Amino acid sequence: MKRGFYTIMAAQFFSSLADNALFIAAIALIQQLHGPAWMTPMIKWIFAVSYVLLAAFVGAFADARPKGKVMFITNLIKVTGCLMMFFYDLINLPANNEVYVVFIAYALVGIGAAAYSPAKYGILTELLEPEQLVKGNGWIEALTVLSIIFGVMLGGILISPKVSFMLLSIDMPLIDTAIDTPAESAIIVIIFLYVLAAIFNLAIPDTGARYPKQYHRPVQLIKDFSHCVFTLWKDKLGQISLAVTTLFWGAGATLQLIVIEWGKQHLGLSLSQASVLMGVASIGTIAGAVLAGRYISLKKALTTLPVGIAMGLVVMLMPLVTNQWLVYALLIVIGGLGGFFVVPMNALLQHRGHVLLSAGHSIAVQNFNEQLNILLMVAAYSLMLGMQLHINVIIVIFGLLVALLMSVLIYWNKINHIRQPHLNDVIGASRH
């Protein structure tokens, strides 16, 4: 791997670490402000909205300047969102409405994340050769999942009574507020993580990749983005890899929320304890991602599709386990299956997107579809919670849906295979 790849990995690790710790801190802040139960999944929903609404613009933004500078700017946006969340009580809103400041602040962090992603993944296609993309994605995905493990666990640790008491006992006269709480002390730590990520962003080398001058008018940007979406969905390999990654990330985001509620209802755990379960599942995802990066080449990416069906079926076993070690083992298996099949598909999608479009635009199209599915699946999950369905019933519905949709996608791929050249013939095709 080229030297700059490791700097990208470091920047991605700390930025993602902060993202996931902030997710737990935001939930704790909502609970602190006595927000209703439906607001917890809506935190994930409001984050995804930023990706969808900005999809037509962030690709052009990422391709208009060196990717390292884009990542630096977007991390500063995340810092601004964190500061807004920290000073929620200073914003003049009617009593008991401060919780909505959390939503606005988290949406701002989502804007930063939406603009960060095309640069983060787009630079891989600029820096690495096509045959290195699966390996590079495997490392980035493994590191990202590792940051999820430490991020959600760090968020849980920071809001725990013992650690938050230690943090609140530190005298910080320059950051003094009327109310000091565990969520607020956690957010301060998270801000420093974003700043550290920004420092690494500045060290990312310029790959020298330059793209045609980007449009600036919103109407033209939307028109150009629509063309990009159509182009990638029309491509036989692009459409199947895009459909699979769209399903996976929508399911993964929903599963995070399910695990938190499952830990509460089924296992009797607190928020900080349930965050550990999310980290345990991510351990399996790391293992699956690394194995895929080592043993699955880009040309064999489509052979991993049946693993997605297995993941949906294994999820349905969650209501049957209560023993701590069986719970851990099951979550590791679920995470491992997910990591093993999504990494090759993600690499295939990036390769086809880079060939057909550009680095930033292809990732923007990918994010748009994935985050739109997150909106749909999280909204469906929120609806089921509103209907007061037991979490175990929701888990069975969720697992069946994933297995069924993956089966449809495998059948879709078989139809496409008849009409398309062999995968070996299209890997490495040059962009026209």
* 191 vs 80: CA distance, rounded Å: 9
Beta strands (DSSP E) in 311-379 are: none
DSSP letter for each residue of 102-142:
HHHHHHHHHHHHHHHHHHHHHHHHHHS-GGGHHHHHHHHHH
Using the structure block, give the residue that is written with the tokens 């968020």.
Answer: 155
The counts of H helices and E strands in the chain are 15, 0
Tell me which amino acid residue 344 is: P
* 403 vs 376: CA distance, rounded Å: 17
Using the structure block, give the residue that is written with the tokens 């200073």.
Answer: 90
* 178 vs 87: CA distance, rounded Å: 10
The dotted CATH code for 3-206+215-426 is: 1.20.1250.20
* 222 vs 243: CA distance, rounded Å: 21
CB 157 within 8 A of CB 17: no
| DSSP state letter for 388 | T
CB 58 within 8 A of CB 68: no
pLDDT of residue 181: 80
Residue 135 CB contacts under 8 Å (≥ 6 apart), including other chains: 1, 293, 294
Tell me which amino acid residue 119 is: A
Buried b / exposed e over 357-373, threshold 16 CB at 10 Å, is: bbbbbbbbbbbbbbbbb
Encoded tokens for 186 = 């956690």
Encoded tokens for 270 = 């607190």
CB 207 within 8 A of CB 4: yes
Largest CA distance in the chain: 68
Residue 431 CB contacts under 8 Å (≥ 6 apart), including other chains: 354, 355, 356
* 48 vs 268: CA distance, rounded Å: 29
* 26 vs 29: CA distance, rounded Å: 5
Helix %, strand %, coil % of the chain (to 5) = 80, 0, 20
Side-chain-facing half-sphere of 60: CA atoms under 13 Å: 19
User: Among candidates 132, 153, 171, 144, which has minimal Cα distance to 9?
Assistant: 144
* 171 vs 192: CA distance, rounded Å: 17
| DSSP state letter for 430 | P
pLDDT of residue 36: 73
CB 148 within 8 A of CB 14: no
User: Among candidates 153, 163, 134, which has minimal Cα distance to 24?
Assistant: 153
Residue 340 CB contacts under 8 Å (≥ 6 apart), including other chains: 288, 289, 291, 292, 296, 304, 307
User: Among candidates 78, 76, 73, which has minimal Cα distance to 22?
Assistant: 78
Using the structure block, give the residue that is written with the tokens 């320059």.
Answer: 174
- Is the Cα torsion angle 278, 136, 109, 370 positive or negative in sign? negative
Query: What does the pLDDT profile of the chain (432 residues) look like in tens digits?
Result: 666 778 888 888 899 899 989 988 988 888 888 777 677 777 877 888 887 888 777 767 767 777 778 888 888 999 999 988 888 777 665 556 777 788 888 889 988 888 887 777 667 767 766 667 667 766 776 677 678 778 888 888 888 877 876 776 766 555 554 447 888 888 889 999 999 998 988 887 766 655 556 556 778 778 888 888 888 888 887 788 888 888 888 888 888 888 888 888 888 887 777 777 877 887 887 788 778 877 877 777 778 888 889 999 999 999 999 888 899 999 999 988 888 887 788 777 777 776 777 656 677 788 788 888 888 888 888 888 878 888 999 999 999 999 999 999 888 888 776 444 455 555 554 444
CB 32 within 8 A of CB 183: yes
Domain locations in the chain as residue ranges: 3-206+215-426
For Cα atoms 293, 198, 102, give the angle at the middle one, nearest 5 degrees. 95
Using the structure block, give the residue that is written with the tokens 């884009």.
Answer: 70
Encoded tokens for 393 = 């019933």
* 197 vs 202: CA distance, rounded Å: 9
pLDDT of residue 407: 92
